[in-house]
Amino acid sequence: MKQYVVDAFTDQVFRGNPAAVCLPESWPSDALMASIAMENRFSETAFAVHEPEGWRLRWFTPGGEIDLCGHATLATAYVILRFVEPDADMVRFRTMSGVLTAARTRGDDGAGDVFTMDFPAFDIKPTPVTDTMERALGARPVEAWLGRDLLCVMPDERTVRDLDPDQELLKDLPGLLANVTAAGDPGGGFDCVSRSFAPKLNVSEDPVCGSGHCHILPYWSERLGKTSLTAYQASARGGIIHATVAGGRVGLGGGAALFSVGTILPD
């Protein structure tokens, strides 16, 4: 089985969010896909199979299958449009979250391609800020919202960057992931900064979380009165997302860099 490792939401390796992309000719068993994801230890391993109806895409974390993943979708689009369908500039995926598209804008001389994905926005509702949130995160949010994930809003960018949360206490918080965000500092070039923690999926921190930004970006779009935003994920690796928010959808754009190409030998 061919496997590619791609750094997403960046234009250089060792930055952004690494994802493994596997392109089997037919579907492996769920158990094998879960084992490959655990072996890889990336936040997500993507599996894409070209079925009669088109591409189907699934995502596995080290803790199991997940319903939506942004960076591994970008990485899969990069692999397909570079190695499998190089003359195409769009790919559609059938997924657990419906049909997702990824379009390529070609860079100069074949470098610097940008991939823009069309994702559903999560419906988030306010939820009380609790002492448990403060203990888990190490700082008290000024607001909290809940969709699939928990979204905690902090008073400033520095608080987000300096967080050192208690991974075990994070498991007691509602939501699948814990996304923490604040407005970007004036003059910093970003509308918002964020970090995403997923110990329930055996991922302490997701370097750049696309599905997390399907919570984060609708919040900031409403708060700032903007439909086009630039977001920075302030993890150790860092990553930039160029986004649009409209009509219950989120457009997530970014680059990708190929780290490796290999073959998995599951037998």
Q: For residue 96, what are the domain limits?
A: 2-105+255-263
DSSP 79: H
What is the mean predicted confidence (pLDDT) over 159-170? 98
Asked if 101 and 133 sit in the same domain, the reply is no
Asked if 136 and 161 sit in the same domain, the reply is yes
Asked if 78 and 138 sit in the same domain, the reply is no
Q: How many domains does the chain have?
A: 2
Asked if 79 and 140 sit in the same domain, the reply is no
From the candidates 25, 44, 134, 168, give the one annotated as an active-site residue: 44
Let me know: does 7 contact 14? Beta carbons within 8 Å. yes
Asked if 138 and 240 sit in the same domain, the reply is yes
Full-model pTM: 0.89
Dump pLDDT digits (tens) for 108-133. Answer: 765 689 999 999 999 999 999 999 99
In degrees and rounded to multiples of 5, residue 159 shows phi and psi of: -60, -45
What average pLDDT does the chain have? 96
Asked if 77 and 138 sit in the same domain, the reply is no
Number of other CB atoms surrounding residue 189 within 10 Å? 10
Residue for token pair 């390529």 = 104
201 inside domain: yes
Dump pLDDT digits (tens) for 60-99. Answer: 999 999 999 999 999 999 999 999 999 999 999 999 999 9
Pairing of strands 90-95, 54-61: parallel
SS3 37: helix
110 inside domain: no
Instruction: Decide if 44 is catalytic.
Output: yes
Instruction: Quote the pLDDT of residue 107.
Output: 81
183 inside domain: yes
Asked if 41 and 132 sit in the same domain, the reply is no
The CATH number for 230's domain is 3.10.310.10
Distance CA 72, CA 58 (A): 9
Dump pLDDT digits (tens) for 188-240. Answer: 999 999 999 999 999 999 999 999 999 999 999 999 999 999 999 999 999 99
Asked if 135 and 239 sit in the same domain, the reply is yes
Asked if 174 and 231 sit in the same domain, the reply is yes
Asked if 98 and 130 sit in the same domain, the reply is no
16 inside domain: yes
Asked if 232 and 259 sit in the same domain, the reply is no
Asked if 61 and 14 sit in the same domain, the reply is yes
